[in-house]
């Protein structure tokens, strides 16, 4: 299942991702950011589940299932550069802004901003083609929310 997903995501000219693949890709990025400080906290897991449930209208069980599949994908996914480049090519800019805001929500979920999380999020924003200004606005919305 994940091999097929990665093949679609990493082909030379990726198409717009089907909804199920876009959900899984976002969830995997959320997990990657949460794991980046080597402390995959319960607050971050809960935040990921709530983001997925709210964003996609999922039940708590469905959101948890999606996150668990994303945890497996994240562990098997290639480096962040290739993964995010493929998403950038397949997802419209407006949706990438929402991805950055969701990622900031995960970073802020445990009440502390770790250097590793900040650094990865800056890299992900850049790789997704999101400007520093738009990323800062997304961070502020996540902080205020």
pLDDT tens, position by position, 88-130: 877 788 888 988 999 999 988 888 888 888 888 999 999 999 9
- Number of helices (H) and strands (E), helices first, in the chain? 8, 0
Give yes or no for residue 73 having a pLDDT over 90: no
pTM confidence score: 0.82
Q: What are phi and psi of 118, to 5 degrees?
A: -60, -45
Give yes or no for residue 15 having a pLDDT over 70: no
Tell me the pLDDT tens digit for each residue of 54-63: 989 999 999 9
Q: Which domains are assigned to the chain?
A: 19-144 (1.10.3680.10)
Residue 73 CB neighbours (<10 A): 22
Q: Give the range with max mean pLDDT: 10-14, 23-27, 103-107.
A: 103-107
């Amino acid at each position: 299942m994940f091999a097929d997903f990665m093949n679609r995501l990493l082909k030379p000219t990726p198409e717009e991702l089907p909804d199920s693949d876009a959900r899984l890709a976002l969830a995997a990025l959320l997990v990657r950011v949460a794991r980046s400080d080597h402390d995959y906290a319960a607050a971050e897991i809960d935040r990921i589940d709530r983001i997925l449930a709210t964003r996609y209208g999922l039940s708590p069980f469905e959101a948890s299932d999606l996150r668990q599949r994303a945890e497996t994908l994240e562990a098997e996914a290639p480096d962040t550069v290739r993964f995010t480049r493929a998403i950038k090519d397949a997802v419209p800019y407006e949706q990438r802004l929402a991805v950055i805001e969701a990622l900031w929500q995960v970073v802020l979920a445990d009440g502390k901003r770790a250097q590793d999380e900040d650094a990865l999020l800056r890299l992900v924003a850049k790789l997704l083609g999101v400007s520093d200004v738009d990323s800062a606005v997304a961070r502020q919305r996540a902080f205020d929310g």
